[in-house]
C-alpha cells in the first residue's frame, strides 16, 4: 500500500537525521519554497542546505507533529494546503547547550504529483530563542514585559 505523500514527509521529519536527508529531499519539488523566521529560500538545493545546517547546529533534536488539518480549497495551481501543529526540542551546543523547546505551526502545500511545493514555518523566535540567549535575552524579556497587556 502506497503511503500518502504528506504522511511520508511528516514521518521523515519526525525521525529526521543525516541518513534521511535524501528521502526528505525526494518528497519536495525541485522549486520548493521554505520559509521560517530565519530563512526564505527556494529550490531543492537551498532546502537541503537548511536541513544540513539544522543537523550541524542542533543536538538531540526531536520533532513531533501534534495536529494536522487539510483545507477544503485548492490553490490556483492545483496544490492542496495542509496545516500542522508541531513541537521541537533540541540542545544548542554553540550556545552553551541551551535547551530549546519551540512550538509552532506550518503551512504545507502539496502538488497533484504528491510533492511538497512549499513549507512555511510559523513560530515565535523571540520568546523561544532570543530570550534565552546570554546578553540580549534580558532585553527581549524586558521588551515583552513592557508590551504585554496588563489586566486590572
Is the pLDDT reported for residue 148 higher than 70? Answer: no
Q: What is the pLDDT of residue 74?
A: 83
The domains of the chain are located at 5-123
Is 5-123 assigned to CATH 1.10.3720.10? no
Do residues 23 and 10 make contact, with C-beta atoms less than 8 angstroms apart?
no
Give the chain as a DSSP string: -PPPHHHHHHHHHHT--GGGHHHHHHTEEEEEEEE-SS-EEESHHHHHHHHHHHHHH-EEEEEEEEEEEEEEEEPTTS-EEEEEEEEEEEEEGGGTTEEEEEEEEEEEEE-TTS-EEEEEEEE-HHHHTGGGSTTTHHHHHHHHHHHS----
Q: Is it the case that residue 32 has pLDDT exceeding 80?
A: yes
What pTM was computed for the model?
0.80
The answer, yes or no, to whether residue 10 has pLDDT greater than 60, is yes
Q: How far apart are CA 147 and CA 107, in angstroms?
A: 28
Distance of CA 65 to CAs 8, 23, 101, 133, 134, Å?
A: 12, 18, 14, 26, 30
- pLDDT of 129: 54
For residue range 84-111, what is the model confidence (pLDDT) as tens digits?
999 999 887 665 667 778 899 999 999 9
In terms of phi and psi (left: phi > 0; alpha: psi -120 to 50; beta: otherwise), the region of 86 is beta
Q: Which pLDDT belongs to residue 1? A: 43
Amino acid at each position: 500500500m502506497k503511503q500518502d505523500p504528506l504522511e511520508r514527509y511528516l514521518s521523515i521529519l519526525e525521525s529526521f537525521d543525516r541518513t534521511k536527508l535524501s528521502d526528505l529531499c525526494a518528497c519536495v519539488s525541485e522549486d520548493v519554497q521554505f520559509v521560517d523566521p530565519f530563512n526564505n529560500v527556494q529550490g531543492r538545493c537551498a532546502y537541503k542546505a537548511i536541513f544540513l545546517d539544522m543537523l550541524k547546529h542542533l543536538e538531540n533534536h526531536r520533532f513531533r507533529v501534534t495536529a494536522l488539518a487539510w483545507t477544503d480549497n485548492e490553490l490556483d495551481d492545483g496544490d492542496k494546503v495542509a496545516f500542522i501543529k508541531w513541537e521541537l526540542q533540541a540542545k544548542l551546543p554553540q550556545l552553551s547547550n541551551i535547551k530549546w523547546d519551540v512550538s509552532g505551526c506550518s503551512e504545507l502545500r502539496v502538488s497533484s504529483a504528491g510533492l511538497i511545493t512549499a513549507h512555511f514555518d510559523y513560530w515565535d523566535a523571540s520568546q523561544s530563542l532570543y530570550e534565552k540567549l546570554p546578553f540580549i535575552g534580558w532585553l527581549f524579556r524586558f521588551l515583552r514585559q513592557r508590551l504585554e497587556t496588563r489586566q486590572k
